[in-house]
Chains A and B, each alone.
Chain A
Amino acid sequence: MGKGDREKSARDRIKEQQAADRKREQRRRIITYTTAGVVAVAALGAGILWNMNRSKSEEAGANLAPITVVADAGVTMGNAGVSKPVIDIYEDFQCPACKELERVSGSTFKNLAAEGKAKVVYHPITIFSEEPTRGNSIRAGAAARCVKDGKQWMAFHDTLFEKQPSETVEGFKIDQLVGWGKDVGVTAPDFEQCVTKQQHAAVQQSYSDKVNKEQNLTGTPTVKLNGVEMDNEVLFRPSELREAVLNAAK
């Protein structure tokens, strides 16, 4: 073996060594990167599930507590003899956050009342002052006041939130309101006329103004537990909402 050959093979060995090092280094990098990626995606998935789970709605019970509608006041839902704790719900049929509250926690309010754990009072009010939202809200609120039967009122109330129009268009039109009332089984013969003539539009407005002032509302939805405003963090987490109400009953 000549001198040149020896040198060459030494160079080759070094080169091979370097190539092997590079390969090992690259493999390590890929493993590290993949691990970090998997951990990040797992954290993302777990976080999203956790966040959705916190706002998971309760299964609605089969029965509702008895509901009493008073034309120029709130609508009371509760078993006979249950007078506290009182949950006052101030909501506007046109307000998106109220729709969200009903979607997330509506079943909890109903269940608590049905279980005799609370008396729930709904106050459908109008908080908007500009069109088209004000008109939408007044029409819907006035129409709801035309429903005198408790069960039908609740079904109509739920439907209104479900069908809530965008805040940017005219909605809750008279014929829609009449149609939805019939869909949910409103049977009162004067219902259609009451809605069409918007017989309770003035009451809807005056009641809203009165409640707004008396209760110092800053917006809707506002929910008060025994007169104390509840935190949104609790309101929109059904399990915490239930716990807060049960604690108040103690």
Chain B
Amino acid sequence: MAASSSSRNVRSAIPWVTTVARLVLGVVLIVAGGLKIGNPSDSVVAVKAYQLLPESLATIVGYALPIVEIIIGILLVIGLMTRVVAVVGALLMLAFVFGIAWAWAKGYKIDCGCFGGGGELKKGQEPTYLLDILRDFGLVVLGVWAARFPPGRFALDGALGLHTVDDKEND
């Protein structure tokens, strides 16, 4: 009995964990996008600083990135199309992890530009690649969780009945 009641507790906690994962990843994305959007040149310069993409593509990505972040972030927070959006969010963070690892491996001394900033370090500033990677990887995990156990509590998906089938499949 004790075992089954504790496993029920665990199961009833899952939607709440999803909610937290959605909110944390969503808010981080909204803040990151919001800080970039005030200064579009910064994100263009930051993307170019990674030297990963050809110049013209990097320009487009630089302008698109803050918008993508904000919209994905909003959808995560309100819990609409949770599974698809969480997958996109996790892939986005995975791309950032890859980008930072790339810059690190190549020995570029750049600021990640994660929360605005043009990818350039101020004088005497050292890059914080490991911290950035760990943070972003943690956010990947949150995205994967939300994609595995959607939509969590307080989700528009739930209110609209968009996930009832999935819930049954998961049970």
Q: Which residues in B have their C-beta under 8 angstroms from that of A236? A: 39-41
Contact B81 A40 (CB under 8 A): yes
- Known A-B contacts A236-B39, A236-B41; A32 and B71 likewise in contact (beta carbons under 8 Å): no
Contact A40 B45 (CB under 8 A): no
Contact B106 A168 (CB under 8 A): yes
Q: Which residues in A have their C-beta under 8 angstroms from that of B37? A: 51
Q: How many residues of A contact B (CB 8 A)?
A: 34
How far is A167 from B120 in the complex, measured between Cα atoms in Å?
A: 10
Q: Which residue of A lies closest to B80 (CB)?
A: A36
Q: A43 at the A/B interface (Cβ < 8 Å)?
A: yes
Q: Mark A22-41, 1 if CB is under 8 A from B, else 0.
A: 00011011001100110010
Among B142-168, those with CB < 8 Å from A are 160-162, 165
Q: B115 at the A/B interface (Cβ < 8 Å)?
A: no
How far is A203 from B97 in the complex, measured between Cα atoms in Å?
A: 43
Q: A170 at the A/B interface (Cβ < 8 Å)?
A: no
Q: Which residues in A have their C-beta under 8 angstroms from that of B7? A: none
With beta carbons under 8 angstroms apart, the residue of B41, B68, B81 that contacts A97 is: B41
Of the four ranges (under 10, 10 to 19, 20 to 34, 35 or more), the interface on chain B belongs to: 35 or more
Contact A47 B45 (CB under 8 A): no
How far is A53 from B64 in the complex, measured between Cα atoms in Å?
A: 11
Q: A232 at the A/B interface (Cβ < 8 Å)?
A: yes
Contact A96 B118 (CB under 8 A): yes
- Known A-B contacts A96-B119, A168-B107; A52 and B160 likewise in contact (beta carbons under 8 Å): no
- Known A-B contacts A33-B81, A37-B81; A48 and B41 likewise in contact (beta carbons under 8 Å): no
Contact B40 A54 (CB under 8 A): yes
Secondary structure of the A side of the interface?
Answer: helix
Q: B112 at the A/B interface (Cβ < 8 Å)?
A: no
How far is A222 from B40 in the complex, measured between Cα atoms in Å?
A: 16
Contact A51 B41 (CB under 8 A): no
Contact B44 A100 (CB under 8 A): yes
How far is A164 from B107 in the complex, measured between Cα atoms in Å?
A: 19
Q: A59 at the A/B interface (Cβ < 8 Å)?
A: no
Q: Which residues in A have their C-beta under 8 angstroms from that of B66? A: 51
With beta carbons under 8 angstroms apart, the residue of B38, B67, B108, B160 that contacts A44 is: B67
- Known A-B contacts A97-B41, A97-B45; A32 and B67 likewise in contact (beta carbons under 8 Å): no
How far is A37 from B82 in the complex, measured between Cα atoms in Å?
A: 11
Q: B27 at the A/B interface (Cβ < 8 Å)?
A: no
Q: Which residues in B have their C-beta under 8 angstroms from that of A107? A: none
Q: B102 at the A/B interface (Cβ < 8 Å)?
A: no
Nearest chain B CB to A126 CB, angstrom units: 14
Q: Which residues in A have their C-beta under 8 angstroms from that of B160? A: 29, 32
Q: Mark A149-166, 1 if CB is under 8 A from B, else 0.
A: 000000000000000001
Q: List 18 A-B contacts (CB under 8 A).
A: A32-B162, A37-B81, A40-B80, A44-B68, A44-B71, A47-B70, A48-B67, A55-B44, A95-B120, A96-B48, A96-B118, A96-B120, A97-B41, A97-B42, A168-B51, A168-B108, A236-B39, A236-B40
- Which A residues contact B (CB, under 8 angstroms)? 25-26, 28-29, 32-33, 36-37, 40, 43-44, 47-48, 50-52, 54-55, 95-97, 100-101, 104, 129, 166-168, 219, 232-233, 235-237
Top 3 closest pairs, chain A to chain B, by CB: A47-B67, A236-B41, A52-B63
